[in-house]
Amino acid sequence: MSLDWGYTDDNGPSTWAEKYPLAAGARQSPVDIDTSKATSDNSLVDREIDWSYPSNCSYRIVNTGYGWRVDTYGDDTALSGGPLSEVYKLEQFHCHWGATNDEGSEHTVDGKSYAAELHLVHWNSEKYSSFKEAASQPDGLAVLGVFMEIGNADNAELEKIISLIPKIIHKGQDSQASFDLDFGSLLPESKHYWTYLGSLTTPPCNECVIWTVFKEPITISERQLEVFRSLKSVGEEDAIEPEEGKLVKNYRPPLPLGNRVLRECGP
């Protein structure tokens, strides 16, 4: 069964607009962050971005066929301040990566790619009654983007996710694992970031995301990234060769910023 969309030459980002017209919109993500175009904005400094994630909010990890996704209980989570006018709740987090370490992030900075990019997806629970409703609104979602660069040491918190990957190698597999995660270790120390109005980076590419991309990367080891790449984009029942169907890349290349404003908080 051929996939509606994906990351191969046949169904990759350049083909998405054929079936998902929003993908051709003027408010698409990711973008290349041209640091010379970023404007400072005191209102971002006055209302510091703030988050709260209880360590026990993660309850399930699933292979979506496009990567791994950790589903979270949002009730006791909160993201506010910075570019956000309301309080957003954490819905899920996931990651994008490439076949080699010199690609993999979705956003780029002055043309530079990082090896991977972590996305924490939140929804505006003050204004909307569900994630689904929020995903159809221009201020419905808030995604935190965290660049990941290769480092020598394993990231200990990521290791808790890595250890579950062997249980979800095939598309559709999930592990109902309530696991304790210190989100502080999945976010950079610095709260400096860029922010702009964009979209989901996969179909249907809804233009509903207020993006916050942190300037400081976190580290991931080469071994850990290889484990991500061992995930398969096909189900266990799809008889394929062992090396086939590996999810070696799941990132969308940058789209034009166009006439959107790119703001920054911090040097």
Structure tokens belonging to residue 157: 């918190």
The residue (of 41 and 253) whose beta carbon lies closer to Zn ion is 253
| Residue 213 near which of ligand YIE, Zn ion, none (CB within 5-8 Å, type-dependent) | none
Per-residue binding letters, 83-122, with Zn ion (x by CB under 5 A): ------------------------------------x---
* Shortest Cβ 96–Zn ion spacing (Å): 5
**CA angle in degrees (0–180, nearest 5) for 125-131-132:** 140
Dihedral, CA of residue 138, residue 5, residue 8 and residue 143, to nearest 10: 30
Place of tokens 């808030």: 142
State which residue, 91 or 264, has the beta carbon closest to ligand YIE: 91
Q: Out of Zn ion, ligand YIE, none, which partner does residue 200 contact, by CB within 5 to 8 A per kind? A: ligand YIE
- Which positions from 115 to 154 touch Zn ion by CB under 5 A, shown as an x/- string? ----x-----------------------------------
For the chain, the C-alpha Rg in angstroms (whole number) is 18
What is residue 161's DSSP assignment? H
C-alpha distances in Å from residue 36, one per residue of 109, 113, 195: 10, 17, 14
Residue nearest to ligand YIE (CB): 200
- Write down the least CB distance from residue 117 to Zn ion, Å: 7
> Closer to ligand YIE at the Cβ: 171 or 223?
171
Closest approach, Cβ 197 to ligand YIE, in A, equals: 13
CB of 121 to ligand YIE, least distance (A): 5
Closest approach of Zn ion to the CB of residue 201, in Å: 5
Minimum Å distance from CB 47 to ligand YIE?
23
Residue 79 near which of ligand YIE, Zn ion, none (CB within 5-8 Å, type-dependent): none
Tell me the closest approach of the beta carbon of residue 200 to ligand YIE, in angstroms: 4
Residue 266 backbone class (left: φ over 0; alpha: ψ -120 to 50; beta: rest): left
Q: Is the dihedral of CA 223, 95, 30, 204 positive or negative?
A: positive
Q: According to CB under 5 A, which residues from 177 to 236 bind Zn ion?
A: none
121 binds, among ligand YIE, Zn ion, none (CB under 5 to 8 A by kind): ligand YIE
Dihedral sign from CA coordinates of 84, 87, 91, 92: positive
SS3 content of the chain, % helix, strand, coil (to 5): 15, 30, 55
Where do contacts with ligand YIE occur on this chain (CB under 6 A)? 119, 121, 135, 143, 200-202
Q: From residue 42, how far is each of 47, 83, 188, 209, 264 by CA, in Å?
A: 9, 11, 22, 22, 10
Contact 162, 61 (CB under 8 A): no
List the one residue out of 202, 209, 232 whose CA is nearest residue 16.
202
Residues that bind Zn ion (CB under 5 A): 119
